[in-house]
Each structure stands twice: as structure tokens, then as C-alpha cells.
């Protein structure tokens, strides 16, 4: 990622991502829009996976991605920050929410979301409304939608 490390903007956090192409696309989105990326391990793939490398291209700078060994480490580091969970189980739409500049926006694993214990830790849970009760959007698309709204609201773009 090519952003300035001192940027006080939104952070996108991925909980145990398991599809390399989605994570690579999210890295590109964060890089292009100036958001920090945080990954809660374990990942379901290695960063040298050819599927990952094909999508991430030259946008990967591992020094600009913060890795957490576990969700416990992640939440310990966030105890004085606001974490927002994006989930299809939420009742509040992201369009009804007021984002702040230094929010961390957490997205669950593609195949499972986040465990119930994490749902219980987070006060702010939002959804992207979908028509006809569709199951979910691709996570990379969801990150782009929410990051754009956060940047717009906080006037960082």
C-alpha cells in the first residue's frame, strides 16, 4: 500500500480471511483510497499464493498492513477505539450511521462471518441492505461500498 502511515483515516479489518483473491482486491481498494488494512490471523492462504499475487499485483506493501495473531490481540489493541462490524445480521443500515475518521470497520470471514462471541463484543453492527433478501455481497464489493461512504462522511475524499 502506498498511503502515508500517519493518516488518521478509517481502517479496514478482515477477520481470518479465507479467499486470496478477495483479500488482494481489498488491499488494492485500501491502497487506492488511502485506508489502512488490518488482518486478524489465521488467514486461509499464504501471501505467496498465485491467486493472491495475480490480483494484488504491485499494490502489496506488507509493511503497511497490520497483522494480529488473534482476535484477542486485535481487540486488546482496539480497547480505546471504535470498532464497527459489518454483518448481514445487523438491523441498522450503513446509510443511517455516522462514521468517524479513525473508525475500524471489521468484516468477517467470507465462508463464516465472525463468531457470536465477536458479535457480542461490538456495539456498532451495520449492514448493507439488499433487495429480495439476497444472502450477501462479495466482501471486496462490501469493503468498497463502506469505505467510500466512510471517506465521504468524514470528508477524507
Going along the chain from its start, the domains and CATH numbers come out as 11-153 (3.40.1280.10)
Q: Which pLDDT band holds residue 6 (cuts at 50, 70, 90)?
A: very low
Q: Note if the pTM is more than 0.85.
A: yes
Could you tell me which residues are beta bridge partners of residue 107?
Answer: 14, 86
* 36 has pLDDT over 90: yes
Report the alpha-carbon distance of residue 46 to residue 60 in Å, rounded. 13
Per-residue model confidence (pLDDT) at position 75: 97
Cα–Cα dist 4/77, whole Å: 21
Q: What is the DSSP string of the chain?
A: --S-TT--S-EEEEES---HHHHHHHHHHHHHHT-EEEEESPPSS-TT-HHHHHHHTT---GGGEEEESSHHHHHHHTTTS-EEEE-TT-SEEGGG----TT-EEEE-BTTTB--HHHHHH-SEEEE---GGG-----HHHHHHHHHHHHHHHTT--
- pLDDT at 59 (0 to 100): 64
Phi, psi of 152 (to 5 degrees): -65, -50
* Cell, residue 130: 439488499
Spatial distance between the Cα atoms of 63 and 98, rounded to a whole number of angstroms:
30
Mean pLDDT of the chain: 88
> CA-to-CA distance for 98 and 32, rounded, in angstroms?
23
Identify the pLDDT of residue 2.
37
Amino acid at each position: 500500500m502506498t498511503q502515508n502511515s500517519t493518516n488518521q483515516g478509517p481502517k479496514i479489518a478482515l477477520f481470518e480471511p479465507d479467499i486470496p483473491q478477495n483479500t488482494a482486491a481489498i488491499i488494492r481498494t485500501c491502497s487506492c483510497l488511502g485506508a489502512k488494512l488490518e488482518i486478524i490471523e489465521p488467514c486461509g492462504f499464504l501471501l505467496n499464493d498465485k491467486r493472491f499475487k495475480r490480483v494484488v499485483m504491485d499494490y502489496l506493501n506488507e509493511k503497511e498492513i497490520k497483522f494480529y495473531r488473534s482476535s484477542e490481540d486485535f481487540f486488546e489493541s482496539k480497547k480505546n477505539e471504535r470498532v464497527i462490524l459489518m454483518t448481514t445480521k445487523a438491523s441498522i443500515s450503513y446509510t443511517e450511521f455516522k462514521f468517524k475518521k479513525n473508525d475500524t470497520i471489521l468484516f468477517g470471514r467470507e465462508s463464516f462471518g465472525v463468531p457470536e462471541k465477536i458479535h457480542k463484543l461490538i456495539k456498532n453492527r451495520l449492514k448493507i441492505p439488499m433487495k429480495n433478501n439476497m444472502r450477501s455481497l462479495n466482501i471486496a464489493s462490501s469493503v468498497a461500498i463502506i469505505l467510500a461512504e466512510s471517506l465521504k462522511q468524514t470528508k477524507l475524499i
